[in-house]
Structure 1
């Protein structure tokens, strides 16, 4: 059987990109990506493949009265049309934690765009026409769109017969999960407060907006199994959910990571994986599915929109007395990652501040809105927007500088979180605020030049609507806290296989993991670790697949920490085995093999004194050393369902931002001039990549501040703007200058002292931008994103 083209090949990193930990090595796939030669999952090809197409619901909530596939099956070129009744096993639902999502809709549809039927045809246009010929009769039902309609006594139940483990502690079946965090006595603390400030905040639904839509290729195999080449964030999670539905043991569902065009959480859930495999197994032919942009907006989860109500109290000298909050997250039609998002939003809902008396409640709802799940920042983003707005309000009420007020209340190493867990690594919150405030300010009125106004530097940009009249500058600050790694007792581990051998007289290391490279740079870091630990120049990164143990998800800022830790451990074991071979081969005339502390350095085995004992070509002649090793971080525990107490997180990352904006207050236009960031990364394994991650996260936070929102009709629960024409994301013209100050305070519990970095800047950039716009306009601005009408009163 022919191998599908477009599948990533092994990447060898040699002398051009050589470098160990702490060096800014270049991405091995960087040139291919910027020249357009990199093979993404949508580029996959097989000479006799079919094309898959999904028919999606046109309504958000309805009973399915009938489905007629006759005309579609009769269309020439159509090989298969499948509905729920055609699924091969009794297992017909899947889910990350709660298996509540049907492979194809059965009985009723619960959100706009839900998959109802799938088609395989010999041409993509034939598949689309066939899907359009499927006749579905719906009987529409009332829609559930918010907390009031979800929890009313007569509310329609989205999932009538829930049996998941959360049902016992939620007050209503339309609540996915509820997590309180209670410590101290808020009522008593309120009596001590000189100032009490309240606020109600609305956070919009954000899309991950990755540039590569969902796509993949399923190839049936001769043993009755299937091989799926897929862009995903977690190969083994996909495998665990798919195998029961397909009726195949896991060893007959083989998965290889195809080129991923961005993720940001949107690929944690399944999209077309099961559908492509079902069609391939039914037809006996390879099946490729590629979503268009319209489908992609319906084909993956989004960031939870939220309603947040906060109360902060403080003494006259600027110390917080208490925080009381309620966070309501809209999870949409299916659970996805909502329980974990609730855990993050509640446990991190106070922010990076020391507060003894806390009362927080967070819930996620089932509604008929689009399903929501993982997105960069994962619950902490919504909370940060609200608590940072509150910190500015309290500072203003007390007449204090907003940065000074934050510094007076900043947590530090040893601070107890509201969950009762101490922060046992550096927490330089006050220092990050000091650093970001000390950065030079951008020049005023940058649009002015001797040749006239540069409209690109003005609010409204190239629309050329503003020429400086009524433009006001504002400055705002924010800081946030984000957990790193999976929490609440999850068995978070990763696996790495490292092989060392001599090829052509030169030592070569091969690193094989199931880590999904989604752009975060793991392929670079893993090679850096191998060079550092093994002393070799040539490192080959094997394509990620399920022939090696799980690497967990590329999410929660965990991959460098956990899979990097696994690679480091595997390299150390390989090194020991090479030394054992050396002792065995040379021990009789090199006593140091048996007595000295040996290291591998520069491709040679040396003593601490630097004496070369033998070239690796001699040591490994005719032999290869290979180790597969699992690595786990420190254990966590679930939060108590009544009080929220518990050691639920592994590590924390911190970032602070200063935003400088210019606002045309008459037209309601905003130009973000600069978003300066200071972040503690523990150890910068690849400084260039670190800065790139911080700038990327910052830009996504900018997007939700001023432009990004999936708009859902409140009466029909239909998505109004499923395209990049109407859903706006920042372009290079919207992206401000992003200077970065990197602080490296090692976490002694983590490999190399590192911290996960990718999510923290997404938290604080959003409230910093809002704070700056408030500073410029004097408006309250209690929702994201800010639109022109919010600034002009129209």
Structure 2
């Protein structure tokens, strides 16, 4: 309030350098590219021990006995723990359903499940001691697919199941089921001039982050423990860890350590509880670092899926109806499967207007590796299928595939299949127009006057072809992804902002529990503080549990939700700073009471630029601090019978055009370009925005042509748990990725922004597949595409 009691408008948009809308550089960027950045695996503590986990060698078996005597007798070993050594009655954990045992008890349910843990004075000693533990297994039949999971005589993966989803599923081996019914798809199908059907298979993808799971647990004098950990959600970890340890949450103090990538793979616990248990048992700090082999078993993966689709259209291309059934393999434990089912079902139509739909999505319990969150979860699998259907429909109608999409594109005001209106910009047709209009890459780029540049050819440096049998293909795709947690989840974030004078300069400190996993949140938070508080110097406090929860770094939500919390806290700090200024200096200048005031460049100024005071003078001897929670608008659960409900906060959209060259004789693919057009609402940091779009695009490319965890269908064992056999795109595989950024503000979001990190992962995969189909004429109904699928030898 102004000194005279009248409201004072405080204008947004400080022109302080390094604020919102600028491409400011990452504070951790130089350290990371020079190798000086400290990741969680770099941590060290005097007198620390090393932890090691013994994992099951079979996928499904009763545990007859465990003999740890030889391991305990090994010199240098300080502790060996099994299920029987757990300190409390709480022995399971889980994101939503607490079905995952800390250490296996009675049976193992997947290959690589933790059975025992060891602490020793050297990592090699710990490894050798773990190998000496003798486990006698009695193997059981494995459940690996829908047929074996839902057969009348199927073995139950979880006997005696009793959770909040178990009452509405048709079989105990189904984690969650979500139907969505709107209109009458059967009646509408009779009006279709053309009907296309498809059965699609989506492979199991790994997050493949480069920094393996690692952390350091340090026992404290008060009986608690300090855990330094690479994670995506400190407070979620805390709520799962503390009950198992038998400690109150305030005695489990967690601090974020350097995170080497995440993409959903760090939403679930890995070695957190194990390190804490060993530290509390031995009274010494314990560090655990997975090797790459362990990492493939130590985190969840993207759900593989079977997708069954039917679309109908009139002869002029208007969609009449859609039916689909999506079967997601959740593996041995629930993890995020219920949420993945919700996303897959509610976004299964794609960014199109279809009034009559009949949808079912389920997730299974099997003995395959556990699956959970990965960038774009649920929506990625659905997008692959519905975009293949659009191409199939266009071909049958003799229409241009882009024009068919534009004809049926949703827009602001469209009603989703769940009955929820889209109340912010949905520029699907415009994104398709833009991406199609982008310049095409030159033909036959491998040719030069000096001879063929094999790096530009399918097969690359393997030098397998010089252009013989190489055919170009072009494909398009567009996708829709929700932003934020959905279905009634209390999605909020907390920010603490302090403003004070340090060494004669006004400084803002931002403290949140946001996990910086590479997305650039620490950069954006500083930009927000500079914009709202008019200071140049901003300190980002390390993320820990000494401040309220920031939620997970997932669902493209952190800039929206934690950014919103930082903005809100900064606004409250700004009000308090101006109140101090009015108290100290307001009587000397009437503008303090009447003008629209800005904090800019360390000054208090009017909207006309007149300086009213220096922030150093205003804040001298003062410290202003605010801790505030911030929530976006509420959502609601989908009806379990009809799927109706306002389940999502916001939607994001991206479109891709893929240009590929295929050696049709050898089955080799070179992706030349993946052009993208995406609406980001407001680009808070344009450089980071483009980086996120290019990164998501590359992960979509990976699952299109190379990435898949291969599981033996007879034994449910993982065949390729290494970067030797599990391939991810290198710089030589990564194409040119031109990006066209559209900014149509969402009035419901801070600064009008739109979550951006996941949408490009959706549409890049089906665009690449569409381009390969264009080059080869093959249907190609699975990911990833392998050479044998292109040469007819599969």
Where on the TM-score scale, by shorter chain, does this alignment land: which range? Answer: over 0.9
Q: What is the rounded CA distance, in whole Å, between the counterparts of 1:664 and 1:7 in structure 2? A: 73
Residue 614 of structure 1 and its aligned partner are, at CA, apart by 1.5
Secondary structure at 1:136's aligned position in 2?
Answer: strand
**CA deviation digits over 1:753-775, x for unaligned, max 9?**
00000000000000000000000
Distance change in 2, residues 1:32/1:457 (3 Å): same
Secondary structure at 1:472's aligned position in 2?
Answer: strand
Distance change in 2, residues 1:6/1:426 (3 Å): closer
**CA deviation digits over 1:505-557, x for unaligned, max 9?**
11000000000000000010000000000000000001000000000000000
**CA deviation digits over 1:606-664, x for unaligned, max 9?**
12232212111111111110000110001000000000000000000000000000000
Secondary structure at 1:16's aligned position in 2?
Answer: coil
Question: In angstroms, what is the RMSD of aligned CA positions?
Answer: 4.3
Gaps of 5+ in 2: none
**CA deviation digits over 1:168-208, x for unaligned, max 9?**
11000000000001000011100100000000000000000
Query: For the Cα contact (< 8 Å) 2:494–2:549, is it kept in 1?
Result: yes
Q: What is the rounded CA distance, in whole Å, between the counterparts of 1:666 and 1:610 in structure 2? A: 69
Q: What is the rounded CA distance, in whole Å, between the counterparts of 1:585 and 1:7 in structure 2? A: 18
Residue 372 of structure 1 and its aligned partner are, at CA, apart by 0.0
Query: For the Cα contact (< 8 Å) 1:7–1:39, is it kept in 2?
Result: no
- Using the size of structure 2 for normalisation, the TM-score is 0.98
Residue 590 of structure 1 and its aligned partner are, at CA, apart by 2.7
| Higher mean C-alpha displacement, 16-25 vs 560-569 | 16-25
**CA deviation digits over 1:282-313, x for unaligned, max 9?**
00000000000000000000000000000000
Query: For the Cα contact (< 8 Å) 2:658–2:674, is it kept in 1?
Result: yes
**CA deviation digits over 1:65-92, x for unaligned, max 9?**
0000000000010000000000000000
Residue 17 of structure 1 and its aligned partner are, at CA, apart by 12
Q: What is the rounded CA distance, in whole Å, between the counterparts of 2:53 and 2:220 in structure 1? A: 23
Q: What is the rounded CA distance, in whole Å, between the counterparts of 1:358 and 1:462 in structure 2? A: 48
Distance change in 2, residues 1:583/1:11 (3 Å): closer
**CA deviation digits over 1:549-595, x for unaligned, max 9?**
00000000000000000000000000000011111112332333233
Residue 691 of structure 1 and its aligned partner are, at CA, apart by 0.2
- Using the size of structure 1 for normalisation, the TM-score is 0.98
**CA deviation digits over 1:435-480, x for unaligned, max 9?**
0000000000000011110000000000000110000000000000
Residue 13 of structure 1 and its aligned partner are, at CA, apart by 21
Query: For the Cα contact (< 8 Å) 1:217–1:286, is it kept in 2?
Result: yes
Q: What is the rounded CA distance, in whole Å, between the counterparts of 1:174 and 1:430 in structure 2? A: 41
| Higher mean C-alpha displacement, 547-556 vs 585-594 | 585-594
Q: What is the rounded CA distance, in whole Å, between the counterparts of 1:270 and 1:757 in structure 2? A: 26
Query: For the Cα contact (< 8 Å) 2:657–2:674, is it kept in 1?
Result: yes
Distance change in 2, residues 1:516/1:58 (3 Å): same
Secondary structure at 1:672's aligned position in 2?
Answer: strand
Residue 12 of structure 1 and its aligned partner are, at CA, apart by 26
Query: For the Cα contact (< 8 Å) 1:537–1:603, is it kept in 2?
Result: yes
Query: For the Cα contact (< 8 Å) 2:660–2:768, is it kept in 1?
Result: yes
Matched, 1:55 2:90: no
Distance change in 2, residues 1:549/1:236 (3 Å): same
Q: What is the rounded CA distance, in whole Å, between the counterparts of 1:14 and 1:579 in structure 2? A: 16
Residue 118 of structure 1 and its aligned partner are, at CA, apart by 0.2
Matched, 1:27 2:20: no
Query: For the Cα contact (< 8 Å) 2:16–2:600, is it kept in 1?
Result: no
Query: For the Cα contact (< 8 Å) 2:13–2:532, is it kept in 1?
Result: no
Residue 18 of structure 1 and its aligned partner are, at CA, apart by 4.8
Query: For the Cα contact (< 8 Å) 2:16–2:534, is it kept in 1?
Result: no
Gaps of 5+ in 1: none
Query: For the Cα contact (< 8 Å) 2:485–2:491, is it kept in 1?
Result: yes
Residue 733 of structure 1 and its aligned partner are, at CA, apart by 0.3
Partner residue of 1:435? 434
Distance change in 2, residues 1:283/1:9 (3 Å): farther
Residue 7 of structure 1 and its aligned partner are, at CA, apart by 48
1:680-695 matched pairs, under 5 angstroms? 680-695=679-694
Query: For the Cα contact (< 8 Å) 1:15–1:537, is it kept in 2?
Result: no
Partner residue of 1:527? 526
Partner residue of 2:397? 398
Q: What is the rounded CA distance, in whole Å, between the counterparts of 1:579 and 1:484 in structure 2? A: 35
Query: For the Cα contact (< 8 Å) 2:14–2:599, is it kept in 1?
Result: no
Query: For the Cα contact (< 8 Å) 2:9–2:596, is it kept in 1?
Result: no
- Any runs of at least 4 consecutive aligned residues in structure 1 with deviations exceeding 3 A, and if so which? 5-18
Distance change in 2, residues 1:618/1:124 (3 Å): same
